[in-house]
Amino acid sequence: MSKKQKKKDILSKDFRKIREVDGITEYVLINNGLRVLHKHIPKTGVITTNITYLVGSRDEQPGETGVAHMLEHMLFKPTKQDIAKKIPSGAMEFERNVGVVLNANTWKDRTTYYFSYGKEHFSEALLIEAQRMRDVVLSDKEFLPERTNVLSEFDMYNGDPHFALAVDMTCSAFISHPYGHETIGFREDIEAYTISKLQKFYNHFYRPNNAVLMVIGDVDASVALKEIAVKFKHLEAEPNVMDRPIIVEPKQEGTRRVEVVRPGITNILALGFKHPAFPEQGWFETCIILRLLTDGSDSILAKKLIDTGLASGISVSQSFSKDKDLATIYVTLTKKTTHKRAEELILGLIREISVTTIKKQLKPIITKMVTEEIFSRDSSLNIAAELTEYVAAGKWEAYVETETILKKIKLKDIKVRMDELFINSNLTIGNYKSI
């Protein structure tokens, strides 16, 4: 039987092909709705499999913030199959026996697990993912020490002034929308988790029809699909998993402000503003504006703040979020200025940026972003990581359109976007003060 015929047989029996865009093909496992994205990179000897569940911190209720992330940790604990085999955890054993690269991460709209390994381990990697989708045994014995690890992780982030400020700023920026807390949650909520809370979350969201499995690397489609069908076909879908409320953030009517005071020497002024969702063109416009303002020694804020000794550092955050989210510019101030003076200076500078300045910088910024995109896709692991963000935003095919989107952006788009982003009723300003 020819390869083509084999692939066709598997397709007609178990999978339906949805579309193919620029070397990436999307399939759906007919009986339970698991979606598969496959990209064949021959002769590398390496495969990355990445399963992304379309559940994140946005799906958490008040009092249980961070539960999506806590559950991510628990997926490295034993499944019922592991317990039967008397091994600690399939995923951990996979690393400890084979040396695969493995990890996971949780964000606002998604939770992602990945393995990168030699191609001979493909079947084993799929088996582990399939088993832990439904069969992790959540018990206090495994949960309690892991919760202290998560608290340790929380404290690690919280020791960073930028994080402390971000927590308060997102809370203030979002009154109704569930983006109003950091993914790791509040310490008080983490301390109050119970197994039953985790179990409920796991039962509902960890389902094949709420997941996208990416297979990137040295395995062709016929082999990949056959193995996926064997390992995932029996898993049950949850019909109601996609029924989630659409929450529109109420209109903001003025600048919001927060302040964090701690002992130490660091003083930070943070300028937060809401921006369009990823991967809309407006998201990329925001990205360009942030680069114009802060990227490199020749950026507008670096010249006015770092070069003059008013600041010792500038950094930014902008998330790949499915809905409108908060981006932030953090400026670490020196003793030569105050929060108030720096805020006036920065907002004044931003509002005075001329069309001529933008015009000169726009094309080079776009060229640089396109180059960086190409660099960021140089291994199966990196391709999967980037594709994940497009999957979580519900538009994976935009992954191959990034260059086109960027090159379409015009001077007037940037000017209009800039005026929208930095009006008072779109701002959340944070002051981190040391005493």
Q: Which of 23, 63, 99, 239 binds other proteins (CB under 8 A)?
A: 99
161 binds other proteins (CB under 8 A): yes
363 binds other proteins (CB under 8 A): yes
- Select from 21-29, 205-213, 259-267, 269-277 the region that touches other proteins (CB under 8 A): 259-267
Task: Provide, rounded to whole angstroms, the least separation between the CB of residue 310 and other proteins.
Answer: 9
Paired with 101 in beta bridges are: 116
Q: Select the residue interacting with other proteins from 43, 196, 251, 352 (CB under 8 A).
A: 43
Name the one range near other proteins by CB under 8 A: 90-98, 225-233, 347-355, 414-422.
Answer: 90-98
Can you tell me which of 92, 104, 237, 405 binds other proteins, judged by CB under 8 A?
92
Kind of pairing, strands 15-21 and 24-29? antiparallel
User: To the nearest whole angstrom, how small is the minimum distance from the Cβ of residue 238 to other proteins?
Assistant: 30
CA distances from 387 to 35, 191, 257, 344, 375 (A): 14, 33, 35, 39, 14
Note whether 140 binds other proteins by CB under 8 A: no
Helix (H) or strand (E) holding 262: strand 256-262
Q: For residue 144, state whether it binds other proteins (rule: CB under 8 A).
A: yes
Among candidate residues 71, 321, 319, the one with its CA nearest the CA of residue 185: 71
- If one asks whether residue 378 binds other proteins (CB under 8 A), the answer comes out as yes
Tokens coding 335 = 């003793």
Element at 285 (helix H, strand E) = helix 281-294
Part of the chain binding other proteins (CB under 8 A), chosen from 54-62, 95-103, 193-201, 230-238: 95-103
CB 266 within 8 A of CB 332: yes
Please report, as a single letter, which amino acid is at residue 277: A
Nearest approach in angstroms of CB 324 to other proteins is 29
Helix (H, G, I), strand (E, B) or coil at 189: helix
Tokens in use for 85?
A: 């085999």
Residues 197, 425: Cα–Cα separation, whole Å: 37
CB nearer other proteins, residue 139 or residue 434: 434
Contact stretch for other proteins (CB under 8 A) within 189-197, 249-257, 311-319, 342-350: 311-319
Name the strands in the sheet holding 256-262, side by side, starting at the edge strand that comes first in the sequence. 256-262, 427-434, 268-275, 325-333, 311-317
Residue in the structure block whose two tokens are 């929060």: 339
Rounded-to-integer distance, Cα 228 and Cα 82, Å: 20
Among 97, 123, 203, 424, binds other proteins (CB under 8 A): 97
Residues 191-250 that bind other proteins (CB under 8 A): 217
Q: Are 243 and 205 in contact (CB under 8 A)?
A: no
By CB under 8 A, name the one of 2, 5, 152, 356 that touches other proteins.
Answer: 152
- Pairing between strand 427-434 and 256-262? parallel
Output the smallest distance, CB 330 to other proteins, in A. 12
CA 235 to each of CA 29, 125, 211, 226: distance values in angstroms, whole numbers, following the listed order: 11, 16, 12, 15
Given the complex with other proteins, which of 11 and 137 has the nearer CB atom? 137
Q: Which of residues 241 and 329 has its CB atom nearest to other proteins in the complex?
A: 329
Q: Indicate whether 139 belongs to the interface with other proteins (CB under 8 A).
A: no
Our finding on whether 394 is near other proteins (CB under 8 A) is: no
Supply φ then ψ for residue 248, to 5 degrees.
Answer: -105, 125
Q: Does residue 185 sit in helix, strand or coil?
A: coil
| Shortest distance (Å) from residue 162 CB to other proteins | 12
Which residue, 34 or 219, has its beta carbon nearer to other proteins?
A: 219
For binding to other proteins (CB under 8 A), which residues are involved?
A: 43-46, 76, 92, 95-103, 116-118, 144-153, 155-156, 158-159, 161, 217, 262-266, 296-298, 303, 306-307, 309, 311-313, 332, 334, 360-361, 363-365, 367-368, 370-371, 374-375, 378-382, 434
